[in-house]
Amino acid sequence: MSPVPVILQWEEEDGGFACAGFTGLPIVNPIRIVLAHGGSPDAITHAVALREELIREIEALAPEVKKEDRPGEDLARLEPSCRKVLLLVGSETAALEEKPWFAPWLALEPLHLTLPVFPLAARQGVTTLLPPGFRRFNVEFWSRSIAEALPAIFALAGLTSESARIFISYRQKESAALAIQLFDALAHENFDVFLDHFRIAPGVDFQTRLTQELGDKSMVLLLESAGILDSEWTLYEINVAKTCGLGLFALQPPGGRPAPGIDESVRRHLSAGDFAGGSFSASAVLEPEVLRDVVERVKREHDRALVQRRQALRLSLQGALWREKVYGHFFDEYGILHVPIREKSLEYRVWLTPRPPELPDFQTTSQYARAPVRGVVIGLSRLMEPLRMQRTGWLAGLCQIALVDEGHLMEAAGRMARGEL
């Protein structure tokens, strides 16, 4: 069968394996996620639930995703460049036995990654439930639903990003306490959260820093209080998010006003009963259970926004190249776009980042774009502060890699077609 970028493989009760493949995802490396369970009835139930959640959420990551059933495949025949993520699904009390096919993961072979997934009730004794060789790995615990483990799984697999970043847009005089509560809760979930209350030092150019912080994030969390559209800053943040294709998720408290252009599918309406004390005000915070629900929803929307933005960027560049009559370009298994310009006997290798370019983007590109191949990094460079832009430009020159802002894709495609980039 033809290769697919993402394969989900799960252990069945008879010891065999079943597979599903997924196409249409803008991934960096091919991925194989392997589900193993502890063998107890509870562990099997948890593994089935996780498999169903994984399938549902992978299909929801981008509109272009298609699922295809595949026969069970030999675990020993995995592609060298493929990430192999082993999910060890356990229960509260039953020990998970070591199996012969765990060997590559126990040996820490390259690109073999392991994530134990256990219910929160197993936290105290979890080391006794894992095979000795896997006790070195940090465990992902879930409390109410095993779907809580999905963001950690997607980040480890490379479907999303190991660095989750979010920008909170709000009116301080109307929802300060809620914003600070969300900042704290998301930070505890390993998000890099921007909240102007904490993140802009005195003397800094406010708008320039705000713009850069927006570009660095994958999604804007908008608190739609009553006066949200009366603030020039929140309007600016919304417009930058829309212009740059960032994700938007809105929380609307009682009496709030919807920001135009945000679909209801990415909005949650909060009621007075969702807040401690039964009413909303600038000092009101969410009830603990509601806060947990909101954080889980934000994590899902963040992952979807990042994948969809990556996909949109890829499609835009490919469309620009086609309009310039540049054909034969393709993404390899490392996420690099190969652009052969046959009339000029040269080739470009292009790395697309959904954020302003950083050191790892140039490192990745330089590994696969050695002369005479020309390297290009494309990202949101126009949103950088001047000093950061100067340093990034210096790094690009040092690496002999062209730096292109994603707003100039058509121009970049034309320059590649002419061999001028």
Q: Which residue is associated with the tokens 């820093």?
A: 209
Task: Verify that 192 and 333 share a domain, yes or no.
Answer: no
Instruction: Tell me if 65 sits within 8 A of 59, measured CB to CB.
Output: yes
Question: Distances in Å between the alpha carbon of 14 and those of 11, 17, 39, 98, 105?
Answer: 8, 9, 11, 16, 22
* Cβ neighbours, 10 Å, residue 229: 15
Quickly state the pLDDT bin for 231 (edges 50, 70, 90): confident
Task: Verify that 99 and 183 share a domain, yes or no.
Answer: no
Residue with more model confidence, 134 or 73: 134
Q: What totals of helices (H) and strands (E) does the chain contain, helices first?
A: 12, 17
Parent domain of 210: 164-305
Task: Verify that 291 and 372 share a domain, yes or no.
Answer: no
Domain with residue 212: its CATH number is 3.40.50.450
Q: What CA–CA distance (Å, rounded) separates 401 from 390?
A: 15
Domain with residue 335: its CATH number is 3.40.1350.10
Of the candidates 394, 389, 401, the residue with the CA atom closest to the CA atom of residue 362? 401
Domain boundary among 127, 157, 187: 157
> Using one digit for the tens of pLDDT, what is the confidence trace for 42-85?
999 999 999 999 999 999 988 889 998 876 555 445 566 788 99
Stretch among 60-74, 332-346, 365-379, 384-398 having the lowest mean pLDDT: 60-74
Q: What CA–CA distance (Å, rounded) separates 24 from 18?
A: 21
Beta strand pairing call for 337-341 and 346-352: antiparallel
Instruction: Tell me if 343 sits within 8 A of 371, measured CB to CB.
Output: no
> Using one digit for the tens of pLDDT, what is the confidence trace for 263-287?
999 999 999 999 999 999 999 999 9
Of the candidates 116, 32, 143, the residue with the CA atom closest to the CA atom of residue 78? 32
